């Protein structure tokens, strides 16, 4: 009997607690923010606690792993779903999301609340907020600056024996590369080498087939070699730009880097596989997004003094692939007023400072132009340099089709050994022309 009484009492207490919690939640609204599941998302969860404390608006988060992020979120937007009140969408989505009215246009809100878009770094405004590009129409607040950079094993580079051997072979110091050609030489130098009784490899680069991996990776070779998406004077005219001699050299270079210097079985690798290869001590160089660098720096095995960072090296010119995202209000949200209040809060300088401290990459000039910023983290100065030279993929409403075509053509050439670099780029122009024709761009 006593047992029954105890159970009843416990049940009553649990029930009361649950009821209390429900009542408390009902007092304030809750916003759902959708983003990719990665390190910066954890920083945002931490940061958003301040917003809840200030406004009594609760925050829920829907984080999707990167390989499924675009599929999942674009499906949500296209079906006019109400899951997300706020979304941190990829830069390439901006065209489609603006034209299909998935995002709320923020011009009037910015004007009303005194949010100055000029307070944010120009490359991030163009990349994450504007549509059409280079027009004063804003659909997002630059939230997470990012570019494709490199990490290297500083501890290996500083070993006297390796330094001497490298110097004898290449007649220069073993240090972070200054050109793409130097990068390949370093990768070749480390490929198959025995370090501390373990076989290591040259470079972990992007070769993923399913979503956007190889397109992002190859861009870091194509841009410095001279690839351009279109004639700057004649939009959508791609012949002689996408398949220029320089672009062909860039693509051949990327294939050579893949063939000579990646770990075995590296035919379908994106950011996570790169992190795994680097963290497990397999790769001397790693291509990856700056967003991961704070986490890598903290890594107990390869972080701290063991890791170094560098911007994507130039060759004929400079260029890094743009990453990063803008923060937008979903037009199907029932909580638009609260979502806008989050954007207002997020845009403030104090919050942006804390965002950077927690591991998010702010785009706010107030933080980035601070004299102490380059010294605030080992990768901060490189981040500023990279963001000054970023180039982005097409952000057209048809970006997914354009991306699919490049994924197939580049993977066919680089990994599956199909055809030549020139043929791959010629076919890419054919595919892209077909898409633009369907879109009525010609």
Partner 1 sequence: MRAAYTPIEHRVRGLSDKAIAWLFIAPTMILLLAINLFPLIWTIQLSFTNYRANRPNAPLRNVGLDHYQTILSDPEIWQRMQATAHFVFWTILLQTVIGFALAYLIDRKFRGHGFWTTLILIPMMLSPAVVGNFWTFLYQPQIGLFNYVVSFFTGLAPSSFQMLGDVTLSPWAIIIVDTWMWTPYVMLICLAGLRSIPDYIYEAAEVDRASNWRQFISITLPMCLPFIMLAVLFRGIENFKMFDMVNLLTSGGPGSTTELASITLKRAAFEAWRTGYSSALAIILFVAVFGLANIYVKALNKVKAR
Contacting residue, 135, 264, 300, 371, with partner 1 by CB under 8 A:
264
- Alpha-carbon gap, residue 124 to 145, rounded angstroms: 7
- Binding of residue 420 to partner 1 (CB under 8 A): no
Alpha-carbon separation of residue 37 from 42, 115, 146, 217 (angstroms):
8, 28, 15, 20
- Alpha-carbon gap, residue 173 to 272, rounded angstroms: 30
Residue 168 CA to chain centroid, in angstroms? 38
Q: Which stretch binds partner 1 (CB under 8 A): 39-47, 158-166, 208-216, 342-350?
A: 208-216
The residues with which 286 forms a beta bridge, in sequence order, are: 151, 204
Which secondary-structure segment (H or E) carries 33? Answer: strand 30-36
Closest CA to 175 of 285, 96, 268: 285
**Within 13 Å, how many C-alpha atoms sit on residue 155's CB side?**
12
Nearest CB to partner 1, comparing residues 48 and 191: 191
Smallest separation (angstroms) from partner 1 to the CB of 252 = 17
- Binding of residue 437 to partner 1 (CB under 8 A): no
CB neighbour list of residue 361: distance below 8 Å, 6 or more residues apart: 40, 144, 145, 146, 290, 291, 324, 383
Contacting residue, 55, 137, 230, 267, with partner 1 by CB under 8 A:
267
- Alpha-carbon gap, residue 381 to 406, rounded angstroms: 32
Name the token pair of 403.
């991306």
Name the token pair of 298.
């903290």
Q: Which stretch binds partner 1 (CB under 8 A): 138-146, 228-236, 299-307, 401-409?
A: 401-409
Smallest separation (angstroms) from partner 1 to the CB of 102 = 9
- Binding of residue 430 to partner 1 (CB under 8 A): no
Q: How do strand 58-64 and strand 30-36 relate by DSSP bridges?
A: parallel
Which secondary-structure segment (H or E) carries 395? Answer: none
Smallest separation (angstroms) from partner 1 to the CB of 282 = 8
Nearest CB to partner 1, comparing residues 117 and 200: 200
Contact code string over 97-136 relative to partner 1, x by CB under 8 A: --xxx-----------------------------------
Task: Determine the size of the site formed for partner 1 (CB under 8 A).
Answer: 32
Smallest separation (angstroms) from partner 1 to the CB of 47 = 31
Q: What are phi and psi of 52, to 5 degrees?
A: -65, -40
- Binding of residue 210 to partner 1 (CB under 8 A): yes
Smallest separation (angstroms) from partner 1 to the CB of 167 = 30
Smallest separation (angstroms) from partner 1 to the CB of 50 = 35
Contacting residue, 184, 255, 364, 411, with partner 1 by CB under 8 A:
411
- Binding of residue 197 to partner 1 (CB under 8 A): no
Question: What is the rounded radius of gyration, in angstroms, for the C-alpha atoms of the chain?
Answer: 24
Nearest CB to partner 1, comparing residues 274 and 319: 274
Q: What is the DSSP string of 156-172?
A: HHT-HHHHHHHHHHHSS
The total number of residues written for the chain in this structure: 442
> According to CB under 8 A, which residues from 71 to 90 bind partner 1?
71, 74-75, 78-79
Residue 261 CA to chain centroid, in angstroms? 24
Nearest CB to partner 1, comparing residues 99 and 182: 99
Smallest separation (angstroms) from partner 1 to the CB of 81 = 13
Smallest separation (angstroms) from partner 1 to the CB of 100 = 6
Nearest CB to partner 1, comparing residues 141 and 435: 435
- Binding of residue 95 to partner 1 (CB under 8 A): no
CB neighbour list of residue 57: distance below 8 Å, 6 or more residues apart: 28, 29, 30, 31, 51, 338, 341, 342
Percent helix / strand / coil, the chain, rounded to 5: 50, 15, 35
- Alpha-carbon gap, residue 435 to 262, rounded angstroms: 33
Contacting residue, 155, 358, 397, 423, with partner 1 by CB under 8 A:
397
- Binding of residue 209 to partner 1 (CB under 8 A): yes
- Binding of residue 232 to partner 1 (CB under 8 A): no
- Binding of residue 140 to partner 1 (CB under 8 A): no
- Binding of residue 194 to partner 1 (CB under 8 A): no
Q: Helix, strand or coil for residue 13? A: helix
- Binding of residue 416 to partner 1 (CB under 8 A): yes
- Binding of residue 401 to partner 1 (CB under 8 A): yes
Q: Helix, strand or coil for residue 342? A: helix
- Give the footprint of partner 1 on this chain (CB under 8 A): 70-71, 74-75, 78-79, 96, 99-101, 208-210, 263-268, 397-398, 400-401, 404, 408, 411-413, 415-418
């Amino acid at each position: 009997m006593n047992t029954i009484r105890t159970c009843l009492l416990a049940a009553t207490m649990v029930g009361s607690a649950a009821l209390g919690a429900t009542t408390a939640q009902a007092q304030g609204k809750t916003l759902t923010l959708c983003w990719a599941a990665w390190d910066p998302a954890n920083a945002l969860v931490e940061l958003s606690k301040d917003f809840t404390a200030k406004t009594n608006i609760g925050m829920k988060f829907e984080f999707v792993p990167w390989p499924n992020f675009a599929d999942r979120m674009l499906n949500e937007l296209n079906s006019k779903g109400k899951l997300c009140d706020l979304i941190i969408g990829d830069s390439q989505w901006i065209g489609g999301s603006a034209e299909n009215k998935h995002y709320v246009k923020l011009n009037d809100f910015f004007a009303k609340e005194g949010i100055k878009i000029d307070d944010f770094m120009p490359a991030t405004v163009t990349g994450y907020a504007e549509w059409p590009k280079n027009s004063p129409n804003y659909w997002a607040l630059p939230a997470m600056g990012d570019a494709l950079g490199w990490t290297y094993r500083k501890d290996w580079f500083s070993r006297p024996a390796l330094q001497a051997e490298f110097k004898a072979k290449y007649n220069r110091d073993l240090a972070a590369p200054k050109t793409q050609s130097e990068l390949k030489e370093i990768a070749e130098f480390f490929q198959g080498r025995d370090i501390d009784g373990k076989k290591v490899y040259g470079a972990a680069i992007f070769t993923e087939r399913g979503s956007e991996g190889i397109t992002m990776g190859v861009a870091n070779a194509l841009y410095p070699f001279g690839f351009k998406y279109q004639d700057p004077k004649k939009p959508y005219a791609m012949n002689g730009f996408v398949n220029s001699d320089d672009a062909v050299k860039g693509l051949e270079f990327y294939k050579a880097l893949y063939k000579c210097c990646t770990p075995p079985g590296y035919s379908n690798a994106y950011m996570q596989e790169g992190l795994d290869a680097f963290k497990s001590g397999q790769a001397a160089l790693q291509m990856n997004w700056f967003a991961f660098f704070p986490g890598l720096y903290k890594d107990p095995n390869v972080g701290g003094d063991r890791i170094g960072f560098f911007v994507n090296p130039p060759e004929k010119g400079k260029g890094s692939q743009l990453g990063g995202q803008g923060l937008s209000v979903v037009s199907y949200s029932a909580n638009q007023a609260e979502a806008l209040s989050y954007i207002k809060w997020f845009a403030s300088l104090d919050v942006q400072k804390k965002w950077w401290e927690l591991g998010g990459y702010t785009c706010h000039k107030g933080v980035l132009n601070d004299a102490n910023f380059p010294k605030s983290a080992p990768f901060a100065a490189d981040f500023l340099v990279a963001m000054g030279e970023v180039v982005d993929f097409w952000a057209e409403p048809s970006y997914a089709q354009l991306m699919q075509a490049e994924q197939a053509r580049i993977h066919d050439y680089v990994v599956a050994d199909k055809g030549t670099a020139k043929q791959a780029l010629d076919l890419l122009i054919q595919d892209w022309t077909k898409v633009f024709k369907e879109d009525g761009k010609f």
